[in-house]
Amino acid sequence: MPRYVIERDIPGAGALSPAELRAISQRSCRVLDALGPHLQWEHSYVTGDKVYCVYISPDEEMIREHARQGGFPADRISEVKSIIDPVTAE
């Protein structure tokens, strides 16, 4: 199944408290549960004003539906074509 990176513009994301991040994560998980097993959240990276989320999904529309239901921005959705790491250099 395809993997996607979702870029979410969230001003001040890096200053969110652990409690705020927990609440956002809980809301996301509730929506994921409602949407069914085909959409999976792997993890997210929180930076100063953005959150980058990695999802496994059958298509981009399911990710957009998760964003709509959860009230999250999904400013850019990019399908991952390859993954490279230091092992790739060997």
User: Can you state the angle between helices 18-35 and 60-70, rounded to 10 degrees?
Assistant: 130
Return the closest-CA partner of residue 59 out of 38, 31, 45.
Answer: 38
Whether pTM exceeds 0.85: yes
Q: Over pLDDT 90: what percentage of the chain?
A: 100
| pLDDT one-digit tens code per residue, 16-42 | 999 999 999 999 999 999 999 999 999
Beta-carbon neighbour count of residue 89 at 10 Å? 6
| pLDDT one-digit tens code per residue, 7-19 | 999 999 999 999 9
Identity of the residue numbered 34: A
Q: Read off the tokens for 26.
A: 């809980």
Q: What is the mean pLDDT of residues 67-81?
A: 97
SS (H, E, C) 40-55: EEEEEEECCCEEEEEE
Tell me the fold of 3-81: Alpha-Beta Plaits (3.30.70)
Q: Where are the domains of the chain?
A: 3-81
